[in-house]
Amino acid sequence: MKTASMKANSNLEIKYLLNMYHNFKTYRGYLNARLHALSIVICGDDTTLRAELARLGKSHTTEITDNEAKQLLKELEATATVVKKNIAQVKQILSPDALTDKQRRKIIWLTKYNFHWLPQSTFSFIVKMFPYLRDNLTRWELKHSNLQALFRIVSADEADEIIKRLTKIKGQNEKDKHSTADNA
């Protein structure tokens, strides 16, 4: 017999599943898209998916049953998790002081959503803070304010300084808003 909390949990799970693939016409379409996406995460193209389908004696995702697709999805998700961890370890070994994804997201979040800056403004702000980074960029990257290229050469320590300065500016802006609101 289901309790009220169990019913609520199952309703939440159903809503989550419905929202998860609401952009697809069918659940099977969602599964096929997810299988292709995971294959790309694992090896960069559909090679992994084609190899798994060949192992099952099939040539296309439409030839496997729903249960086979679900099982294959679980296997590819497990493999993708392992691959992501391995890639993260390799990145840490090759460039231990590189900008982390969390730092990159924080910088983008502060500049894009708090200050409403364009990417070019963020690029200029970082280059003004650390002018020597300009030497490591190509002429084209400088001319087009290529923020991704700049993020590749920013170290974790430099990113911390950028975040500190942006947070300080955010605090000053909020302080100014409160003081002008009090004066009005």
8 A C-beta contact, residue 161 and residue 181: no
Q: Is 139 inside any structural domain?
A: yes
Q: What is the pLDDT of residues 66-99, one digit of tens each?
A: 999 999 999 999 998 998 888 878 877 877 778 8
Q: What is the pTM of this model?
A: 0.53
Q: Is 50 inside any structural domain?
A: yes
Query: Are 66 and 117 within one domain?
Result: no
- pLDDT at position 141 is 92
Query: Are 155 and 170 within one domain?
Result: yes
155: β partners: 98
| Domain limit, last residue, from 60, 75, 94 | 94
Query: Are 13 and 90 within one domain?
Result: yes
- pLDDT at position 13 is 53
Q: Is 55 inside any structural domain?
A: yes
Full domain range(s) for residue 75: 8-94
Question: Alpha-carbon distance 181 to 51, whole Å?
Answer: 64
Among the ranges 20-24, 54-58, 86-90, which has the highest mean pLDDT value? Answer: 54-58
Q: What is the pLDDT of residues 115-140, one digit of tens each?
A: 999 999 999 999 999 999 999 999 99
- pLDDT at position 129 is 95
Query: Are 18 and 42 within one domain?
Result: yes
Q: Is 3 inside any structural domain?
A: no
Range 144-156 average pLDDT: 92
| Domain limit, last residue, from 75, 94, 113 | 94
Q: Is 24 inside any structural domain?
A: yes
User: In total, how many domains does the chain have?
Assistant: 2
| Domain limit, last residue, from 67, 94, 121 | 94
Query: Are 108 and 70 within one domain?
Result: no
Query: Are 90 and 111 within one domain?
Result: no
Closest Cα to residue 153, out of 117, 104, 84? 104
Query: Are 78 and 117 within one domain?
Result: no
Query: Are 63 and 115 within one domain?
Result: no
Q: Is 2 inside any structural domain?
A: no
Query: Are 24 and 88 within one domain?
Result: yes
